[in-house]
Structure 1
């Protein structure tokens, strides 16, 4: 049965019905590093420094310095929770999301009176307006460049063709009372829009949408070539919910906003204006990134001039802990779906499942489970790996395993690597390929073989049994039975 979710609040209501998935606290917390420090122990997971764990989503109801605010963290920080919110099994997420991206349902525009996100409005031209006092943007660590909106989904349109709209999560640092810096990775579609506007000497209107139906965030994390230029990722969420995402016209800029968002920041990307990301702290660091390290502060970033902020009553500011399990879910599910769709199209029935492992933040490490059905399938595992690397360019390492290996169990993966791999014949290195600049090892300083930042050697670990030796690698055949009568507290749902 599909969950009846159309915004963040209905998603929270669903989690409240399931033990261990959601908790609240009224104990006061400082948004400056303390909130993330607390959640590190409760549920961050991912590549966060140990000790950490996968735990519940958590609402902080008492924010120091912001008596009317509350902050939610960890909504997506569990594969089990993501499946619950999307109405499928955890092992079926790649297939479920993969079907949605192939069958999008376009968003629709609703009138302002049907848009909860505009229940409250603040205009930046008011002399008392100050974004820094209005919203408790957190810092993840004491050395962050400044307060960040970590789950700000930016919506913008092509200045030359308004029918082309894109949504992407970007790094947004609060710089002044009405200014944000914005990090845009090269090649992102909104960066293409920004450059077009800048070349014409015009600002680019944007809305920053926060506190959303989880399906919107997950769908927004698809990338090219799965979602080519002009593909509106809001259609993925529409397909996942089988109802269109609702948009509303902004109150201060000529752009749409997500009507059922908790908080909207409306603004314009200014042409020719740049700012140093850590101009107020001189920390040298931006914030923790998904590989588990603190990224360097960027010396020159575009600036968003804020025009207005709109909110629901008693709005929820949604955030994440940078390198945690939440990033694995948001980045990893679209990665898995993209790879599954591409390999299935090329080699039908061969790929059984795929997992964008949390150790790679949902981007760097892919586990591919394959099934060799006949002698001629030998070697297709390598083909599947190459398709995966071509489909998602930020992948660094791929581990191939057989159908009897649980790809969501790291111990089982390491068992396959230990007993079904020989380093001299089972490892393929592909040097000199484009990777991801946030991996600190993908740098000329690390290896003389690397020509520039973001260039890497990609590696395929073939931990599959050769077809001719299948009979010698059968796992110990334990009896298949229902254990519930012996331990009902462990197995009864």
Structure 2
């Protein structure tokens, strides 16, 4: 029996067997604002402008201006759908990823003949080459800076090739062979690699891999300390699938791409050149990011000069997402949960059974920690856990602490805790003057000049909704009779 090779196509095929999880349509749609505009109603969820909902993933088979190209959106826009894709319980996905980090499987290189992503090759030297005609990159809103690649996995290495890594960035198509890429200051490993190339005044070869197995995209969003510099997150996807990710040598640059991608863009990040993000539209806006806002266009994006585009020959799939959707929560939140579990397991083992990063925080800003107090000496351990969570993930802004009898995946249950096991005068911790995420629009000196000296600083909040250990008997939930065969009354 032939081994199943995981890629986006295999995942979509598997989803067809689960009612209500995948919808395909042949109705023509315009990638300019319509794809996101329509999917907002169908299934975006997250912090997208209301009304929205959790719904199926959608593959649009008829893209205006792009014959033969399909667009898929929302494959990860449901935690339960991600659980189906990874074959795991949705409530313990953080634990699954934590184990994958500890048991990595390195990628394996295959030949170009074995790489579906290189079935069709377009070189930048070809007459009429234009990435804007090859890549059906949507604009999320009518006032975006341009068409964006939102789920393109960028793969790059140090100049000596001793380390490589993959990260997701927002990337805007600027002209026929130019892409602007936002690399957050002090952020991911790609930025550290680029700094090494800049010191040598050398361009940095990268591949942008589009149309991937969600296991790759979710694994790729880990950050230090869970995955330190030199840890390539493709190893995590290998562990999740118990199958090495296949990579292939590029056709025009000195780097590898992911062999089972739908598209691979090959290019070089220039060492000293930058570009204004909205140079073509002058809207002043970038695109909707995970906090739910259209941030200002960046004045100095790094520049990728494209050398080649390769793709599958049979109706390649452009994979995209909406920044503030539930899909971002899956990609960012589940690895954040794993990072927090990793650190608290080492420092206070057994005291944090589970962690959830809910949609309200976009997967980055908020975490709910379930706390286990087993004896009087555990009192206070919950606040230690909160501090560890902030250490595990610097972009975390709010931590809510609850007891084991609270369902952390039910915000009504969490808010019930805050209303019945919490007193504001004693159960709030505020940590001032810390670093967070520059995409939070409240983190500016104009918002709070006395506390925020530079953009990206924040006060962090802990809401301690755990019951003091010596008062547990006074906070027992009303107990109801167990009726094991309750479903018979619904027949």
Structure 1 length-normalised TM: 0.97
Secondary structure, aligned partner of 2:488: coil
Deviation at 1:461, TM superposition (A): 0.2
Counterpart contact for 2:285–2:297, Cα < 8 Å = yes
* Matching residue within 455, 461, 470 for 1:459: 461
Structure-to-structure mapping, 1:199-348, within 5 angstroms: 199-313=199-313, 314-348=315-349
In the other structure, the counterpart of 2:483 is 481
Runs of 5+ consecutive residues of structure 1 not aligned to the other structure: 489-493
Counterpart contact for 2:226–2:342, Cα < 8 Å = no
Show CA shifts across 1:73-117 (max 9, x none). Answer: 001100001111111000110111110011111111111111111
Structure-to-structure mapping, 1:139-158, within 5 angstroms: 139-158=139-158
Secondary structure, aligned partner of 1:215: helix
1:413 aligns with 2:423: no
1:74 aligns with 2:77: no
Runs of 5+ consecutive residues of structure 2 not aligned to the other structure: none
Measure, in 1, the Cα distance between the counterparts of 2:420 and 2:118: 59
Deviation at 1:271, TM superposition (A): 2.0
Measure, in 1, the Cα distance between the counterparts of 2:4 and 2:51: 35
Measure, in 1, the Cα distance between the counterparts of 2:44 and 2:163: 35
Deviation at 1:484, TM superposition (A): 2.3
Deviation at 1:347, TM superposition (A): 1.2
Deviation at 1:478, TM superposition (A): 1.2
Secondary structure, aligned partner of 1:43: helix
Deviation at 1:26, TM superposition (A): 1.1
Secondary structure, aligned partner of 1:389: helix
In the other structure, the counterpart of 2:100 is 100
Deviation at 1:210, TM superposition (A): 0.5
Deviation at 1:4, TM superposition (A): 5.0
Deviation at 1:133, TM superposition (A): 1.1
In the other structure, the counterpart of 2:83 is 83
Measure, in 1, the Cα distance between the counterparts of 2:182 and 2:393: 21
Deviation at 1:5, TM superposition (A): 5.6
Aligned CA RMSD, in angstroms, stands at 1.1
Measure, in 2, the Cα distance between the counterparts of 1:471 and 1:162: 59
In the other structure, the counterpart of 1:374 is 375
Measure, in 2, the Cα distance between the counterparts of 1:393 and 1:186: 13
Counterpart contact for 1:5–1:241, Cα < 8 Å = no
Measure, in 1, the Cα distance between the counterparts of 2:489 and 2:162: 60
Measure, in 2, the Cα distance between the counterparts of 1:246 and 1:107: 6
Measure, in 2, the Cα distance between the counterparts of 1:167 and 1:156: 7
1:364 aligns with 2:365: yes
In the other structure, the counterpart of 1:438 is 439
Deviation at 1:462, TM superposition (A): 0.2
Deviation at 1:13, TM superposition (A): 1.0
Measure, in 1, the Cα distance between the counterparts of 2:475 and 2:284: 52
Measure, in 2, the Cα distance between the counterparts of 1:217 and 1:60: 21
Show CA shifts across 1:263-304 (max 9, x none). Answer: 000011112211100000011110000000001100011111
Secondary structure, aligned partner of 1:40: helix
Structure-to-structure mapping, 1:116-195, within 5 angstroms: 116-159=116-159, 161-187=160-186, 188-195=188-195
Evaluate the alpha carbon distance shift between residue 85 and residue 141 of structure 1 in structure 2; reply closer, same or farther with a 3 A threshold: same
Counterpart contact for 1:94–1:336, Cα < 8 Å = yes
Aligned residues: 485
Measure, in 2, the Cα distance between the counterparts of 1:150 and 1:58: 16
Secondary structure, aligned partner of 1:99: helix
Counterpart contact for 1:5–1:11, Cα < 8 Å = no
Query: 4+ runs of 1 displaced by more than 2 Å?
Result: 480-484
Measure, in 1, the Cα distance between the counterparts of 2:458 and 2:4: 43
Measure, in 2, the Cα distance between the counterparts of 1:57 and 1:201: 43
Measure, in 2, the Cα distance between the counterparts of 1:194 and 1:344: 33
Deviation at 1:380, TM superposition (A): 0.3
In the other structure, the counterpart of 2:63 is 63
Measure, in 1, the Cα distance between the counterparts of 2:482 and 2:387: 36
Measure, in 2, the Cα distance between the counterparts of 1:329 and 1:252: 33
Deviation at 1:487, TM superposition (A): 2.4
Counterpart contact for 1:156–1:205, Cα < 8 Å = yes
Counterpart contact for 1:71–1:319, Cα < 8 Å = yes
Measure, in 2, the Cα distance between the counterparts of 1:286 and 1:116: 33
